[in-house]
Amino acid sequence: MTPIQKELPIGVFDSGIGGLSVLSVLTQEFPEEDFIYVGDSANNPVGNRPIEEIERIATTIAEFLVAQPVKLLVIACNTFSVVALDKLSKRFDVPIVGMSQGIHDALRIKVKQKRKGPLGIMATVATINSHKHMDAVHSLKPHVKVLEQCCKDLAACIEEGHLDDDLLRSCAKEYVQPLVEANVEVAILGCTHYPLVESVLRELTDDRICFVDPAWETSDAVGAILYSEDLEQSTGRIGSIQVCVTSHADRVTPIVQDIFKDTSLEAKLITL
C-alpha cells in the first residue's frame, strides 16, 4: 500500500446509531486512525425487513463510503453482516470486516467464571433466523445449549433515543425475562444497538447475566487486516471522527458527544 492509501479513513456503517458502540471500541483500539461513520437511520430498523431489501440498503451505504474513499470497511451491524457481507465482499475491492459474533469471548467467560445455564443470544429477527450464532457455538462446543432470544422492537426503541427511561425498560424486560427464567448467565448482544443500553439490561437482570459485546472481537479482526495489509496509521497523532446520519442529526449529536466525550462532534445529515 502507498502512503496515501494508509492515510485514508476507515469507513464504519450501521442501520442507525447502534454502530456507534463499535466505533467507540475502534477509536480506543486504533486512536491514530481517522474514521467516517454512516448510520442510515432513515431506513432503521432493518432487522425485520426482507433479505433482498437489507442487501440493497447495505450496498447503498457501502457505495457511499467506498466513494469517499476509505481504506477499509467495517460493517458495524449484525444484521447487515449476516445478510450482506458476502455480497459486499465480492462487489468492492476494499477489505471488509463484518461483525464478529462474540462466541469466543462468551465461551471463555462461561468457563473462566464457571457460569452455568444456556448461552443466550439477543438479536434481531433476521439475525436470529439465520442461526449463525448458534451454529458457530455448536461448531466449537456441540454440547453447549443455546437460547436464541429475538428482540423484535429493541433496536428501534434505542434508535428513537430511549437509552435510559421507562419505555426502554418496558421494552427490554420482555426480552431479558426469558433469559433469566432459563437461568442464562452469559448472553451475547447480537445487535450493535444493545451495548448502548447494557447498563439497563444489567439492571433488569439484577446483574445475573454477563452481557458480551462482540465489538471487541470485531476490533481484533480489524487490527489483523490493518497490520497484515500494512494499512495502519503510525503518525503519532490522534485521528478524527466524522459521523453522518440520514435522519435526526439533531437527536444523534448529543448521543455522539456523550459516547466520545467530545462536545465538538456533530452528526452530519446526508442523503444516500
Q: What is the pLDDT of residues 151-181, one digit of tens each?
A: 999 999 999 999 999 999 999 999 999 999 9
Q: Which of 151, 191, 210, 244 is the catalytic position?
A: 191
Q: Which of 77, 151, 171, 244 is the catalytic position?
A: 77
- From first to last of its 272 residues, the chain has per-residue pLDDT tens of 455 589 999 999 999 999 999 999 999 999 999 999 999 999 988 888 999 999 999 999 999 999 999 999 999 999 999 999 999 999 999 999 999 999 999 999 999 999 989 999 999 999 999 999 999 999 999 999 999 999 999 999 999 999 999 999 999 999 999 999 999 999 999 999 999 999 999 999 999 999 999 999 999 999 999 999 999 998 889 999 999 999 999 999 999 999 999 999 999 999 99
C-alpha triplet 150, 155, 156: angle, nearest 5°: 120
Q: Provide the pLDDT for residue 4.
A: 54
Per the annotation, the verdict on 157 as an active-site residue is no
Compute the distance between CA of residue 208 and CA of residue 152 in angstroms, rounded to an integer: 23
Q: Provide the pLDDT for residue 235.
A: 83
Per the annotation, the verdict on 210 as an active-site residue is no
Radius of gyration, alpha carbons of the chain:
18
Compute the distance between CA of residue 21 and CA of residue 147 in angstroms, rounded to an integer: 24
What phi and psi values does residue 62 have, to the nearest 5 degrees? Answer: -60, -40
Q: Which three three-digit cell numbers place residue 97?
A: 470486516
pTM above 0.75, yes or no: yes
Q: For residue 77, which of 134, 16, 165 has the smallest C-alpha distance?
A: 16
